Structure 1
Amino acid sequence: MSEDHAPRPIRVALSNDYEIALLGLAQMLASYPDQVHVVALTTEVAMTHDPDVILFDTFGRLFEDDPKLGKVVAENDALVIVYSWDDYPEEAARRAGAAGYVSKRASAQELVAAIVAIHDGHEPERVEDDGEAVMTWPGQALGLSQREAEMLTFIVRGLTNDEIGRRSYLSINTVKTYVRTAYAKIGARNRSEAVAWGIRHGFESTDDTGL
């Protein structure tokens, strides 16, 4: 059977440290059952449902040193596709062994098309930067931006503002701005209150491989 006529739907496992992030991603793919079938939503490294593709969502992760991606690639036979914003660059994903990379600017249809293309051994079409992202993320319904939500994940993990800035290549003032606006939106007056809010709302990571 040729690659262009590989069996459908493609079996896809969704990987991230946060279950609520995975639920949003699963909803995006649910409208394309003839092309992709989500077989697992997992925070673990090893896959147990024999997927064809692992879609590795980088929400809450920093690219500078991401041992989990390397472990996911090394410990599974499936193709690993990184799904990320531009601040987790494609070069970093490729160095870790990812078979493909899809920008979070992609619509659900574009994401599915990219999964199919990479699975079949082709380069997916590049997603044009129109400034609009369609991905859902934890806290979005409460008005948190993607960046504010990620700042909360790092805070819950125990990183200081300086550590967040160094690892994400953001200035300390930029980090403080995101943290301040996130606090205002969740009603937190200090870091302890922000951590408690984050744990209650699913911002506590299950990852034990480090950032």
Structure 2
Amino acid sequence: MPAAAGPIRVAIINDYEVVVRGLADMLGGYADRVRVVELSTRDGVSSPVDVVLYDTYSRPREDPRGVQELTGDDRVEAVAVYTWNFEPELIDGALAAGARGYLAKTLPAKELVESVERIHNGEVVVSPSPGHTPVVSGDWPGRPEGLSLRESEMIALITQGRSNQEICRLAYLSPNTVKSYIRSAYRKIGITSRSQAVLWGVEHGMRAYPYRASRASERVPS
């Protein structure tokens, strides 16, 4: 696919409207360099793009098949996984599946845009591991109620029906760490049980719905 003139065309993919819109808003101050042309909650695009940012919120253990589907799409020039999970196995799997970037959610907007530009110019870009650095940019369900990204993801996975054991496997976290995040989340949102967590998650947008929106036409889910 020939490179587009002007700003780099970016598509953002995730299961949640608030997540893709939050990331799009984060990039909005750099419209002269990157232009968000598509927001999607499906693993694909509907028009040619230069770089796909594949946000892994609620998919903490990235599935290389999703990356492979995107890199195999002739309308996609390059794919970058956007995540806080930097387990070597996940990085290697994403790159082996064809991703040209593995970017941390702790990157300030300016550095994220610079990484997208480098990827568009043909580089393979892997951010330094974020460690325990908090994520302060973008958006996620439960943020207005005070949940951190990881606490929000715990509630989202519980809302999906995941057990603690499954969450440990998906998020590469120890049982004690998962329990700690869950206890902290429960305390912040004023609940005490898993059934209450599921109800709270559904009421606060943690059940993912199929969604696709063209930034140009401003289509929104009905």
Q: TM-score, normalised by structure 2?
A: 0.82
Alpha-carbon contact 2:45-2:75 (below 8 Å) kept: no
> Relative to 1, partners in 2 of residues 1:161 and 1:17: Cα closer, same or farther, differing over 3 Å?
same
Q: In 2, Cα distance between the equivalents of 1:103 and 1:64?
A: 13
Q: Percent identity?
A: 43
Match of 1:38 in 2: 36
Alpha-carbon contact 2:158-2:198 (below 8 Å) kept: yes
Unaligned runs of 5+ in 2: 211-222
AA of the residue aligned to 2:44:
A
Trace 1:156-195 onto structure 2 (pairs within 5 A). Answer: 156-195=159-198
Q: In 2, Cα distance between the equivalents of 1:64 and 1:43?
A: 15
SS of match in other structure, 2:186:
helix
AA of the residue aligned to 1:157:
Q
Alpha-carbon contact 2:64-2:93 (below 8 Å) kept: no
Match of 1:122 in 2: 123
Q: In 2, Cα distance between the equivalents of 1:14 and 1:152?
A: 22
Trace 1:57-136 onto structure 2 (pairs within 5 A). Answer: 57-63=55-61, 65=63, 67-75=65-73, 77-78=75-76, 79-87=78-86, 89-124=90-125, 126=127, 131-136=133-138
Alpha-carbon contact 2:68-2:98 (below 8 Å) kept: yes
Alpha-carbon contact 1:82-1:100 (below 8 Å) kept: yes
Match of 1:50 in 2: 48
Report the CA distance between 1:125 and its aligned residue. Answer: 8.3
AA of the residue aligned to 2:80:
I
Report the CA distance between 1:179 and its aligned residue. Answer: 1.1
The match for 1:146 among 142, 145, 149 is 149
Report the CA distance between 1:63 and its aligned residue. Answer: 2.3
CA RMSD of aligned residues (A): 2.4
> Relative to 1, partners in 2 of residues 1:93 and 1:128: Cα closer, same or farther, differing over 3 Å?
closer
State which drifts further: 107-116 or 95-104.
Answer: 95-104
Q: TM-score, normalised by structure 1?
A: 0.85
Unaligned runs of 5+ in 1: none
Q: In 2, Cα distance between the equivalents of 1:148 and 1:20?
A: 16
